[in-house]
Amino acid sequence: MTSIWGKIFKRKNQENSIVTNDVIAAVKEEPLLSSENKRLQFADIVVYQTAHPENELFTRAAEDLYQTVDEDVRKHIKRITVGVFGEDGRCAPSIVNNKLEINISISQSMKGSRIIGNYNDFTRNYFIETLAHELVHAQSMSNIVTSYGIQEFELIKTDIIAKIGFFGFEEYLACKVVAQKYDSFELIGRQRSIDSIIKSPVGNLGLDKNWSFDLINEMFYEIATRAAFVNVSTEQAKLIETDNQKYIDFITKIRDLLRQFESKTPLNKDQYFFLGNTLITEHYLATTNFDSSVIENKINNLF
């Protein structure tokens, strides 16, 4: 997918507390079901763009994880493709004949090194953790459709502010689940300071609607990921360290908000809108001297 919605939940290529039961269900350990249940196996839906004898090893390694996913979620997953992509993983939804379909992509390389044809503990763990991350996203999408209907999912898709809340919150959940399960804290752009992340949209919002969306969405992605890691392990606290008190207040409010909404999943369009709107409002408060009425007008004019 090439639309903004199609960018959902990408884990960028490396070169460049409380988690709800529904979300944890996507990665918890359970026994495989017997073959007579006729559930699709991971091998039935995975496609490798590059053929190699070791692909079977990755397929076997992923099978146990895939079998733990609820059947209601698995019925929405159309294909898992391992190939050449610009990000580690992607979970891209589409609506076909008024039904949710999900295509998951996993990169066949990491940090410029191929994992296909190079099966070992490191590449296997990368593969499994990336898949687990994307399966949490698939779980969330399925839960929304099951709880609120496909029309509600469409509303989230078409409302830009709700979509910002959706992207950031769901990235937070997926990162937190994987960090808890695998003790993994792989972070894109770890070298960036939290100050530079918060400052990145300043002065550029409102110049172009798509660009404004990308800037805010990227910022929320970075903050949500770091918040997830810090909420799992205090050893990751350096990821959000800053001497700017307004930035400290901003990060604290966003972290608290993400934690509050964990127990409310699955969220609906209004809740995602609230998250997105609050993020943008608090960002303006942290980076400008605008009062609330000016900020409200600016948000209304952004998109």
- Tell me the per-residue pLDDT of 255-297, one tens digit each, with 9 for 90 and over: 999 999 999 999 999 999 999 999 999 999 999 999 989 999 9
46-48 β-sheet, strand order: 11-12, 87-96, 99-107, 77-83, 46-48
Cα(89)–Cα(188) distance, integer angstroms: 13
- Write down how long the chain is: 303
114-118, 127-131, 141-145, 236-240: which has the minimum mean pLDDT?
A: 114-118
The pLDDT value recorded for residue 112 is 66
29-33, 157-161, 185-189, 198-202: which has the minimum mean pLDDT?
A: 29-33
Return the structure tokens found at 25: 């269900």
E strand segments, the chain:
11-12, 46-48, 77-83, 87-96, 99-107, 109-110, 113-114
The pLDDT value recorded for residue 186 is 79
DSSP 159: -
Q: State residue 118 phi and psi, 5-degree precision.
A: -140, 60
Closest Cα to residue 251, out of 302, 193, 206?
A: 193
The pLDDT value recorded for residue 191 is 66
35-44, 70-79, 151-160, 167-176: which has the minimum mean pLDDT?
A: 35-44
CB 300 within 8 A of CB 281: no
pTM of the model: 0.85
Closest Cα to residue 174, out of 205, 132, 210?
A: 132
Amino acid identity of residue 115, one-letter, is: I
The pLDDT value recorded for residue 111 is 67
DSSP 212: H
The pLDDT value recorded for residue 39 is 62
CB 135 within 8 A of CB 111: no
Strand-strand pairing, 87-96 and 11-12: antiparallel
Does the structure show a pLDDT above 90 at 30?
no
Does the structure show a pLDDT above 80 at 180?
yes
Closest Cα to residue 66, out of 132, 155, 6, 149?
A: 132
